Structure 1
């Protein structure tokens, strides 16, 4: 699969690219290597990675617990402390092996330790491959608020090895699929069409679908690295999706949602809003809702769930001057950013979602 050139780094594909990775490490003469994993990737993925890693440099492994609840500043402090205790310096390289939590927090830790050390992402989940590890966003949650603290700083490279996907349960694969669906909806109607009937999708060629998804995100990020304009398109489904995800994370009576599960609901809700604002046809909206609902279970919302979800909306990072900003579909394959939506229409979107 062809290498994708991003802003200041490359996205490498396939087993043979471990040689490229080894050459990069040798050429840059790093003083030591620190590998960040969580408890799952330590058990299921690290051995495969180490079997391809060829270096005489000192290697240290840092393991954290798995899950979104670990993506906080306290975990960063623990990692910074370990780096310090084990003698990491400005010429240390950090290798982040895991899903979106690991690439987000690993990139943030590396970007801030001693004012910045190099890091490389090796994503092991579908979500991290097509979204979290690409584009240079690194950070942590603030309480239950998603990604409130962070920096935009690109890795030295990203290595995509889809063999790691064999370690994932079905719900984690679906979670990543949500971002792939989003990429089609906002940018490429032909790509979206490949997912309209999953029974007709050739998953033998799934690597090419992953490759195209990364291409789409990269094309958008290349135009707007710091999210002042078109990069906001990538937030389609995330304004409501992140609020839903945060609410279900903090509420002990609710089952915690995977990121993609919340974003799938957010895409249906925001597609309804797009339709009601005259940006989508009813047929397009019905197609989107039918396709997403065929893949993801409908989330049960009670009437008393909406006020706290609305309260969380104000913390969305796209908001400006206290106003909630949405990225809405302008037909399938196109997007309109900086769209204001009133609460009455959001309430209607939840009512329609339940149908």
Structure 2
């Protein structure tokens, strides 16, 4: 697959990825190399990567415990301390090998250590391949609030090797699929329609679907790197989805949701809102709802869950002047940003989702 040129860095795929990585190591005089992994990728992915590295650099592995609950500033402090103790300097390179938690946190650690050192993202989950590792967003959660602390700073390279997907569970694959479905809904109707019958998809061609998803995200981000305008379209399903994800993360009586599971709910809810703001047709809404519910289990919301979820909306990063801003689809394949939505319509969306 042909490499994609993003804003200030290339995205390489499969066999080309390691050729590009080793050339990069050869051409840049790094002092040492750190590979950041979580407890999952240390076991299942690192053994695949290490034999492919052609370098005489001293390599150190830094591992932290897997899971969204560890994507916080405390983990960053521990990693900054390890980097310092092991002699990292301004010419150190960090490779982030993992899913979205690793690439988000690792990019933030690298961007802030000694005011910024080079980093490379090697995403190992479908979600990270099509979303988290691309676009230059790096950061951590603040308590249960998603991605409240962070910077926009691009990696030196992104390397996508789809063989890592063999390490994932079906739930993790579905989680990543939600972002691919989102890309179709906001940008490319034909792409969305390829997913309407999952049984008909030849998964030998799945690499091409991943490629198109990365292409869509990159096309949007390239137009608006710092999210002042069209990049907000990527937040479709995330305004409510992030609030739901945060609520289930902090509530000990709830089973923590994967990112894509929460975003799938968010896309249904926000499609309902789009319907009642006359932005999509009933047929489009029913197609979206039926398609997503056929892939993702229906999440149970009790009556006393909704108000605390709505309270979390005020912390959404798109909000301006205290007003909650939504990105809503305007027909499948198009988007309308900066949409304000009254609470009553959000409550009605939850009622419809439960039906």
Fold shared by both chains (TM-score > 0.5): yes
State the 1:16 CA deviation: 3.5
Q: Who is 1:319 aligned against?
A: 319
Q: Who is 2:14 aligned against?
A: 14
Moved more, 111-120 or 8-17: 8-17
What residue ranges of structure 2 are gaps of 5+ in the alignment?
A: none
SS at match of 1:63: strand
Count of aligned pairs:
355
Q: Who is 2:31 aligned against?
A: 31
User: Separation in 2 of the partners of 1:197 and 1:19?
Assistant: 36
Q: Who is 1:287 aligned against?
A: 287
Q: Who is 2:218 aligned against?
A: 218
Q: Who is 2:277 aligned against?
A: 277
What residue ranges of structure 1 are gaps of 5+ in the alignment?
A: none
User: Separation in 2 of the partners of 1:294 and 1:12?
Assistant: 33
Q: Who is 2:193 aligned against?
A: 193
User: Separation in 2 of the partners of 1:225 and 1:146?
Assistant: 20
Q: Who is 1:348 aligned against?
A: 348
**Root-mean-square deviation over aligned CA pairs:** 0.4
State the 1:17 CA deviation: 2.4
User: Separation in 1 of the partners of 2:16 and 2:102?
Assistant: 24
User: Separation in 2 of the partners of 1:224 and 1:5?
Assistant: 15
User: Separation in 2 of the partners of 1:291 and 1:307?
Assistant: 27
User: Separation in 1 of the partners of 2:16 and 2:136?
Assistant: 24
Q: Who is 2:231 aligned against?
A: 231
State the 1:15 CA deviation: 2.1
Q: Who is 2:240 aligned against?
A: 240
Q: Who is 2:96 aligned against?
A: 96
User: Separation in 2 of the partners of 1:244 and 1:16?
Assistant: 38
User: Separation in 2 of the partners of 1:17 and 1:170?
Assistant: 25
Q: Who is 1:73 aligned against?
A: 73
State the 1:200 CA deviation: 1.2
1:221-260 C-alpha deviation (Å, 9 max, x unpaired): 0000000000000000000000000000000000000000
SS at match of 2:315: coil
Residue correspondence of structure 1 range 98-247 to structure 2 within 5 A: 98-247=98-247
State the 1:29 CA deviation: 1.0
Tell me the TM-score normalized by structure 1.
Answer: 1.00
State the 1:25 CA deviation: 1.0
User: Separation in 1 of the partners of 2:137 and 2:153?
Assistant: 6
State the 1:181 CA deviation: 0.1
1:145-204 C-alpha deviation (Å, 9 max, x unpaired): 000000000000000000000000000000000000000000000000000110111211
SS at match of 2:304: helix
SS at match of 1:95: strand
User: Separation in 2 of the partners of 1:114 and 1:200?
Assistant: 50
Misfit runs of 4+, over 6 Å: none
Q: Who is 1:3 aligned against?
A: 3
1:288-320 C-alpha deviation (Å, 9 max, x unpaired): 001101100000000100110011000000000
